[in-house]
Amino acid sequence: MSAAPRVTVLDYGSGNVRSAVRALEHVGAEVTLSAAPEDVLEADGLVVPGVGAFAAVMQGLKDVDAIRMIGRRIAGGRPVLGICVGLQVLFDDGVEHGVRTSGMGEWPGTVERLQADVVPHMGWNTVDAPDDSVLFSGISQERFYFVHSYGVQKWDFDVTQPAMRPPAVTWSNHGGPFIAAVENGPLSATQFHPEKSGDAGAQLLRNWTGGLR
């Protein structure tokens, strides 16, 4: 029997980390809540949670040197999963209340306020996942739990190398389309909260941890 995958949930002051830890333990991972370099860099998988404001999350990540460590993991092909604002900060930038804050720039795009009559977008919603999605294998018809006022509403990824496989992008809709998840080699992220999404969220985490070995 193979050993449980070792997952570190990044501890940088974001809320909601305990529920992520419990959800990952529920699907069989050995979980550490830490920002220590050895835990972040050496784990089989790293989860980057995020709630609240884009700028505050970016500052929290900088305060524990997480941006450099996340970059090292991605460059080395080591899996990373961002959740909620943990997805948003992977894009070029975010605009909140007229203030633009630079993100990590792993993917092109700007996080902006959703164009919907009711904001925040809070509750269960469906997704439109590509056929080759690993995260949504077996659960593409399920509903997931969202809590957010901002999102990435345009995707313009230019593949400059023909041999490069483009990211798998999953969409949802609230007043218009927005990105619900991205899978890009070792780097994956969801706008919704898998740890709050019941059996479907648990299966998504199981799909992710299953690829860590």
Domain ranges of the chain: 6-94+106-209
Provide the whole-model pTM.
0.96
Catalytic residue selected from 106, 112, 183, 195: 195
* 195 assigned to active site: yes
97 vs 180: CA distance, rounded Å: 22
Digit-coded pLDDT (tens) for 2-53? 699 999 999 999 877 999 999 999 999 999 999 999 999 999 999 999 999 9
193 as an active site residue: the answer is yes
Candidates 121, 148, 174, 193; catalytic one: 193
Please indicate whether residue 84 is annotated as part of the active site.
yes
pLDDT in tens, 43-91: 999 999 999 999 999 999 999 999 999 999 999 999 999 999 999 999 9
Local structure of 162: helix, strand or coil: coil
Task: Please enumerate in sequence order all residues whose Cβ is within 8 A of that of 66, keeping only pairs 6 or more positions apart, or say none.
Answer: 10, 12, 35, 40, 48, 60
The model's pLDDT over 138-182, given as tens digits with 9 standing for 90+, comes to 999 999 999 999 999 999 887 665 556 889 999 999 999 999 999
Percent of the chain with pLDDT over 70: 96
Among residues 84, 106, 112, 174, the one annotated as catalytic is: 84
Domain 6-94+106-209, CATH among 3.90.1150.150, 3.40.50.880, 3.30.360.10, 3.40.250.10: 3.40.50.880
- For residue 117, what pLDDT is reported? 97
pLDDT score of 155:
94
SS3 content of the chain, % helix, strand, coil (to 5): 25, 30, 40
177: phi then psi, degrees, rounded to nearest 5: -70, 145
Whether the ω angle into residue 120 lies within 30 degrees of 0, i.e. cis, is yes
CA angle 13, 51, 18 (to 5 degrees): 60
